[in-house]
Amino acid sequence: MSKIYQHSTLAALMAKQMQGTTTIGELLTHGDTGIGTLDGVDGEVIILNGDVHQADEFGNVNHITDMDTKLPFATVHFASSDAIKLDLAPTDFASLADLQHGYHFTNNFAALELHGNFKDVLVRAAPKSTAPYPSLLEVAQKQPTFTAENISGTIVGYFAPELYQGTVAAGWHLHFLSDDHTFGGHLLETHTEQLQGTLELMSDFQLHLPIENEAFRDHTPMADGLKEGIQAAEGGH
Amino acid sequence: MSKIYQHSTLAALMAKQMQGTTTIGELLTHGDTGIGTLDGVDGEVIILNGDVHQADEFGNVNHITDMDTKLPFATVHFASSDAIKLDLAPTDFASLADLQHGYHFTNNFAALELHGNFKDVLVRAAPKSTAPYPSLLEVAQKQPTFTAENISGTIVGYFAPELYQGTVAAGWHLHFLSDDHTFGGHLLETHTEQLQGTLELMSDFQLHLPIENEAFRDHTPMADGLKEGIQAAEGGH
């Protein structure tokens, strides 16, 4: 049994449920590896070996050590020694999609972690919003992007089948963190050198919803255009 | 934390993945209460207090005691003493929808179990298919229905928000089993006397996918018409 644990949904963010409803401390009990965003959809969280960093909208990377730090949305798992070992020839973001066919995970969830040197990396970082929250689509339209060249770091994130679009971002949802912890974000494009890492096919996806939160309980879901909105907000990958 | 555990998806059944990929024994480790169907989408399974019955396409109810009995799709949970106690005035299926607004669970999963006397109960039972499997829609078009009047029994099943349509049957998905274990199936309509029971709001939904099954891993998901197909197959509720 290999399990991904997710707090809340992308559809809830789209419907303006951006208030932090879990904590880093709680999240780390469900995984030591993963991605997320902070209260108000504040930047891009990267969790590696239980160590938490946030790439913010100003291009900074902040080390998150306060276990009470809140998040509205996050996905984690415990990295397993059973994962498939990868040694990938130089590639780009689009070619990562080939993994899905090579390892037959069109219909299930997977976790990816890749480390090495990157010729270039293009990331974005969501700008923090405050209540009353805008939609994720509005946030997405004003989010800054950042580029680094000749940098070593780690890609970490998840694959989800199209069926789960809305619950998650279908396809790949990957974040990047440089080895020196100065550059990171939501991965939009990259050209890599040789990368080493792991691919883990997941049998279980545990979705946790913040049902103790009144705003979440009573929010009006987006009735139409959810998939198109997520596609626009999550930016092509 | 209150958790629903589901094996496979309705979308997989729609895409002809009807081979049994879990067992009753395995399932009971994740819950003592729930619903499902047997290998080949063979009838309607009702699990109450860890006791498993199957209402078949011939109008019979069979006691399932072989723990190796296979299922392609099932949903279970452990009934909790924390659940909301219900004492419902005479109602019908459509009025059960009011619960969703009264107890504010439009955006999360819930489990319902109601016991009492029923003026009438209309159920259907899926007919068993053998490989090569038809689509669930084809199965749905030829499934027999059964009616009982003045019968005592239990309604058990789940509510899921629209967001999860395809992963599950959105809205209510309820099965019925009579107290004397002679009548049951997938609940289509009913008019009830006073009913007593429980409603449990669920924070967690754990989806387990049969990734060790090659046919599941490699099947082609339905690209279009999934929601419409499920609506047709699951019959309005």
Cis omega before residue A132 (within 30°)?
A: yes
Among chain A residues, CA nearest to B5: A206
B56 DSSP 8-state letter: -
Band (pLDDT 50/70/90 cuts) for residue A223 is low
Q: Please tell me whether residue B226 adopts helix, strand or coil conformation.
A: helix
Q: What is the ipTM of this complex?
A: 0.95
Please enumerate in sequence order all residues whose Cβ is within 8 A of that of B48, keeping only pairs 6 or more positions apart, or say none. Answer: B33, B113, B154, B156, B177
Q: For residue range B186-211, what is the model confidence (pLDDT) as tens digits?
A: 999 999 999 999 999 999 999 999 99
- What pLDDT score does B236 carry? 45
Does residue A229 carry a pLDDT above 80? no
Q: Which of A94, A197, A195, A122 is nearest to A152 (CA)?
A: A195
pLDDT at A237 over 50: no
Contact B204 A208 (CB under 8 A): yes
User: In this structure, are residues A154 and A99 in contact, taking their beta carbons and an 8 Å threshold?
Assistant: no
- Average pLDDT over chain B reads 94
The encoded tokens of residue B34 equal 């729930």
Smallest CA–CA distance from B221 into chain A, residue: A107
pLDDT digits (tens, 9 = 90+) for B99-151: 988 999 999 999 999 999 999 999 999 999 999 999 888 888 889 999 999 99
Residue B82's pLDDT band, with cuts at 50, 70 and 90, is confident
**pLDDT for position A222:** 78
Residues of A at the B interface, defined by Cβ within 8 angstroms: 1, 3, 9, 11-12, 104-109, 161-164, 166-167, 201-212, 216-219, 221, 226
Task: State how far the Cα of A33 lies from the Cα of A155, in Å rounded to an integer.
Answer: 11
Of A106, A161, A167, the CB nearest to B163: A167
Q: Do A161 and B207 touch (CB under 8 A)?
A: no
Q: For residues B220, B224, B228 and B234, what is the CA-based torsion angle, rounded to 10 degrees?
A: 0
User: Under an 8 A CB cutoff, do A221 and B109 touch?
Assistant: no
Distance from the first to the final alpha carbon of chain A: 27
Buried b vs exposed e over A115-136: b needs ≥16 C-beta within 10 Å?
A: ebebeebbbbbbbbbeeebebb
Tokens representing residue B170 in the block: 């959105």
> Which residue from A11, A162, A206 is facing B206, i.e. has the nearest CB?
A206
Chosen from A106, A167, A211 to mutate, greatest number of chain B CBs within 10 A: A211
What DSSP string runs through B13-24? HHTT--S--EEH
Indicate the domain borders of chain A: 3-234
**Whole-angstrom Cα distance, residue A36 to residue A172?**
14
Size of interface A-B (CB pairs under 8 A): 92
Q: Give the distance, in angstroms, between the CA of residue A147 and the centroid of all CA atoms in the same chain.
A: 18
CATH 2.60.40.1730 fits B3-234, yes or no: no
- Measured CA to CA in angstroms, residue A175 lies from A36, A234, B42 at distances of 9, 12, 44
Q: Which stretches of A167-209 are DSSP H helices?
A: none
Confidence label for B237 from pLDDT (cuts 50, 70 and 90): very low
Contacts of B1 in chain A (CB under 8 A): 208
Share of chain B above pLDDT 90, in %: 84
Beta strands in B78-169 (DSSP E): 84-88, 109-124, 145-160
Q: Chain A residue closest to B200 (CA)?
A: A211
Using alpha carbons, select from B14, B15, B34 the residue that is nearest to residue B24: B34
The pLDDT tens digits of the residues spanning B54-72 come to 999 999 999 999 999 999 9
Distance from CA of A174 to the nearest CA of B (A): 22
Rounded percentage of chain A residues whose pLDDT exceeds 90: 84
DSSP sequence for A94-129: HHHTHHHHHTT-TTSEEEEEEEEEEEEEEEE-PPP-
| Closest approach of A67 to chain B, Cα-based (Å) | 20
